[in-house]
């Protein structure tokens, strides 16, 4: 909106959060907000970045470096002229202050969809008659940020990476975003550490990432991806992100690229809903919002992984996130055959193609080549899925399968044998025996087959 204001010749912009969107339901005077409800109070001010891009603004699409170090950067003049920068002063204010300003405006009434909620004044477009005196004091600062990484090197495939991420910076205190997610990620790190001390090592390398400067246009994660693009494009298996684990009512909310759909469903079936122990997270997800949403836009740190190098990505929110987050990570890190299912990916591509096709009615464009490519993907995905299920069934029907599982487990230094109390303590799922078996062996196939 600030870019549009600049393009229209505005000298400055005032940005506020309308009570209609964040003030809660009900007529004016009857709404409740924090600390009595979860809604933003009239005096609350929402802040965010106005940079129309990701990463360090001075190094667009190439790696940055620490302040004081020598690397190529845009000059101040180039930044000021960039379409990605706001280039005019912009000040966030509260809903109360925004409404006061709107009351003083005249001119034509704004469109109906621009109007406020019940009890709000008529929003008008101006100009005037009021005059607003705006004083903006800011500074241009080049600072150094720090990402923090923890690595558990894989045993069989150390050059393949399962990446877990959360950012730790916040505009204010960050109780929900990102600290609730940070707490879950630290819990996962603690559980993985306990497993590692008992001799377990994943098949593939697990990288746990704490990103800096996410609120300032995803700088930490974007610059790391830009600096390691070739390596990550060939070695990263998936990026699993969580910012928020406390989100109010509404159930488990995953959004992901389609090849992770089946894995999300399987992992969520193993974890109890903390609000209703008789239900799993999968049950709650299906009850509230059955489809798994797609990761889109640039709302958080999956953006560079997905949009720059095409890494399968996941972003989630809800309680007990450490359990389902950890289960998904372990399956990706430990399953002998990667638990990616591209059948749903082909279906999603077909759905999106039909949407585009519907919007191009009458255009001299043929979608036949695209449909053909999607059909080829679907056939290949179905073939791979059938082969995986056939191999699983053959393994489970083998009378020596259990002894092979146990021997393999001992050779990997795990604790599957008796699934002792300590192993259950660090297990990620709600079913102690099944979860313990899974985290201590090579993944879901062994867990599903072993009933000892």
Beta carbons of 305 and 223 less than 8 angstroms apart: no
Phi-psi region of 141 (alpha: psi -120 to 50; beta: other; left: phi over 0): beta
Q: Give per-residue pLDDT as tens, 241-296.
A: 999 988 666 678 899 999 999 999 999 999 998 888 899 999 988 888 778 999 98
Classified as helix, coil or strand, 16 is strand
Distance (Å, whole) CA 443 – CA 203: 10
Measure the CA dihedral 61/66/68/72, to 10°: -20
pLDDT at 32: 85
pLDDT at 426: 39
The two structure tokens encoding residue 356: 């585009």
3-state per-residue secondary structure call for 432-452: HHHHHHHHHCCCHHHHHHCCC
Cα–Cα distance, 313 to 302 (Å, whole number)? 6
DSSP 295: P
Residue 430 has a pLDDT of: 42
Contact by Cβ (8 Å): 313, 241: yes
196 to each of 17, 201, 304, 396, 409, how far by Cα in Å? 47, 6, 30, 28, 14
Q: Cα(96)–Cα(120) distance, rounded to whole angstroms?
A: 11
Domain 1-50+86-143, CATH: 3.50.30.30
Domain with CATH 3.50.30.30 in the chain: 1-50+86-143
Residue 441: the pLDDT is 31
Query: CATH 3.40.630.10: which residues of the chain?
Result: 148-334
Considering 99, 187, 214, 223, which one is annotated as catalytic? 214
Catalytic annotation present for 214: yes
Q: What is the DSSP letter of 305?
A: I
Tell me: the pLDDT tens digits for 6-42? Answer: 989 999 999 998 988 887 776 666 788 888 888 889 9
Pairing of strands 204-211, 236-242: unpaired
Helix (H, G, I), strand (E, B) or coil at 193: helix
* Pairing outcome for strands 253-256 and 276-280: unpaired
Backbone phi, psi, residue 300, to 5°: -160, -165
Does 223 score more than 50 pLDDT?
A: yes
What pTM did the predictor assign?
0.86
Q: In 3D, which of 16, 165, 195 has the Cα closest to residue 102?
A: 16
Least confident stretch, 51-60, 315-324, 334-343, 357-366: 315-324
- What integer pLDDT is reported at residue 87 of this predicted model? 87
Domain 148-334 belongs to what architecture? Answer: 3-Layer(aba) Sandwich (3.40)
Return the pLDDT at 83. 87
The pLDDT confidence band at residue 420, using thresholds 50, 70 and 90, is very low
- Average the pLDDT over each of 204-218, 394-408, 420-434 and give the range with the smallest value: 420-434
Q: Helices 261-268 and 321-334: crossing angle, nearest 10°?
A: 130
Give dist(CA 97, CA 91) in Å, integer: 12
């Amino acid at each position: 909106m600030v870019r549009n204001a600049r393009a229209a010749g505005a000298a400055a912009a005032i940005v506020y959060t309308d009570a209609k969107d964040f003030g809660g339901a009900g007529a004016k005077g009857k709404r409740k907000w924090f600390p009595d409800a979860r809604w933003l109070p009239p005096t609350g001010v929402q802040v965010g970045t106005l940079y129309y891009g990701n990463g360090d603004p001075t190094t667009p699409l190439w790696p940055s470096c620490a302040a004081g170090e020598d690397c190529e950067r845009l000059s101040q003049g180039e930044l000021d002229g960039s379409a990605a920068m706001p280039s005019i002063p912009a000040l966030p204010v509260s809903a109360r202050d925004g409404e006061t300003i709107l009351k003083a405006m005249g001119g034509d009434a704004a469109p109906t969809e621009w109007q406020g909620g019940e009890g709000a004044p008529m929003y008008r477009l101006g100009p005037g008659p009021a005059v607003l005196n705006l004083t903006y004091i800011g500074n241009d600062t080049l600072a150094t940020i720090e990402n923090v990484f923890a690595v558990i090197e894989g045993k069989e495939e150390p050059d393949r990476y399962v990446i877990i991420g959360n950012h730790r910076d916040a505009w204010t205190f960050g109780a929900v975003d990102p600290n609730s997610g940070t707490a879950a990620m630290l819990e996962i790190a603690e559980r993985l550490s306990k497993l590692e001390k008992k001799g377990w090592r994943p098949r593939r390398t697990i990288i746990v990432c704490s990103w800096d400067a996410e609120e300032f246009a995803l700088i930490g994660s974007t610059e790391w991806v830009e600096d390691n693009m070739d390596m990550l494009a060939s070695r990263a298996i998936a990026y699993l992100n969580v910012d928020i684990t406390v989100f109010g009512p509404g159930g488990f909310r995953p959004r992901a690229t389609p090849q992770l759909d089946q894995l999300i469903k399987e992992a969520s079936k193993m974890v109890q809903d903390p609000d209703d122990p008789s239900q799993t997270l999968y049950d709650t997800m299906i009850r509230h919002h059955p489809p798994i949403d797609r990761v889109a836009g640039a709302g958080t740190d999956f953006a560079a992984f997905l949009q720059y190098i095409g890494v399968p990505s996941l972003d989630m929110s809800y309680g007990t996130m450490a359990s389902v987050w950890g289960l998904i990570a372990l399956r990706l890190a430990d399953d002998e055959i990667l638990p990616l299912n591209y059948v749903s990916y082909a279906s999603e591509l077909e759905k999106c193609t039909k949407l585009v096709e519907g919007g191009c009615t009458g255009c001299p464009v043929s979608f036949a080549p695209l449909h053909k490519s999607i059909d080829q993907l679907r056939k290949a995905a179905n073939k791979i899925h059938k082969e995986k299920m056939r191999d699983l069934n053959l393994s489970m029907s083998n009378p020596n399968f259990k002894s092979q599982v146990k021997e393999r487990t001992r050779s990997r230094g795990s604790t599957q044998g008796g699934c002792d109390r300590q192993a259950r303590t660090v297990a990620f799922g709600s079913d102690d025996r099944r979860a313990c078996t899974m985290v201590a062996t090579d993944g879901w196939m062994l867990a599903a087959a072993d009933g000892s």
